Structure 1
């Protein structure tokens, strides 16, 4: 969870304000901002296991239906979105050598996805200490839905680059990132771009938005046939078409790139045989071809 430090309190303040303002009903009045400051101080002085949004909400007033307290209430335990951020304990742990967070279910909840992503990414910035780190974010467009939370992503890119790290941002269509107010900043910070064949690639998006040359745009739209396992690797001053054929590694691809049927099969084996790969992986490799959709 968050620590009682100035940096964490500053993040929490901005995150809570963005959470409340995501209802589209405008900003906070000065009195609400003062109440929020006092509430954060009181909550952060408590033991971590006693902190909660519901507890914080008690210090935020009840009289004004458009005030901070009533607007935060739906995010508190027992209310519509209380399941998202007001649980019994914070389960986020980033102390392993490799950590993965499956956001699939949260992607279905647009209101929840952006603040959840912002919180996770902020936690990542807190463990950066100069050691090499690689961060991969799939379905990146979902993190840009709310400009206030998207600002955390923009800051993350700069922070990771300064801390001996690399960030991979993956999305289906570049239009999704360019539609964000922070799109130009994020594109500029991503010095290396990997582009896959797209026969319907929009000229303005690739040339004006991603700063492709005519040749690079032509390669994406026409010259790299879909299914040939080719992609364009673009840097600021040069680009190259690469081929990455994993056709001889199908068993490994089944592990690295899970589909719904193989994921369900792997989860079934882990329930039956335990989580250690040595116990379930051999059976998975023998039988994953038979896993049904």
Structure 2
């Protein structure tokens, strides 16, 4: 009997459509997940609530409580909101976050989830839930400058992954290809799904004259707090094209008027 219901789990597939990470501390965060489960077969089944290990590259970085799940031949939704996750393995967790930010594909594993599966009100058995979940990563995320004023820079971030990370108040630098800093940006940094706007205050460096033709990059430097996001923001280092409007604020007269000399 257990082998039959285990088959229901083994043939299933999880597609994560949304993950939100917020309220980061040194050793925890709040997690929300929206996912769709398919491939559980032609027979409806019920999975009892259970707890599963969150695993990346063999490191268990946390545990996730999964509510009761009702499967159907057409699939089912599994939604979890604002669950507090304690970080059990910091290195494994940061490796997972780095993969989310920098890679275009990664694999999260759910493991060691002991549950009971009931099918057709007759078949019932105890199973161990193990499942690899293939996810898209942010691969950057790519950044573009949308608008610039004397005091602020408005940027768009393109995030193709389902992951939304709230870094809170963060510091960035705009650097040349050789690492020379031409500006410091500071603002509330949330990397949202799809396209998201980030508004930052800008402090321009004196004695530099950037051009829109040269190559530059946006580099994360840290956050105001002492959470794990202070490290994860530093994974961001992406090409950035300066607009003519951005460059125009570096001429001598504008720097004098804005007190940046």
**TM-score by shorter chain over 0.5:** no
As a proportion of its length, which structure holds more helix? 1
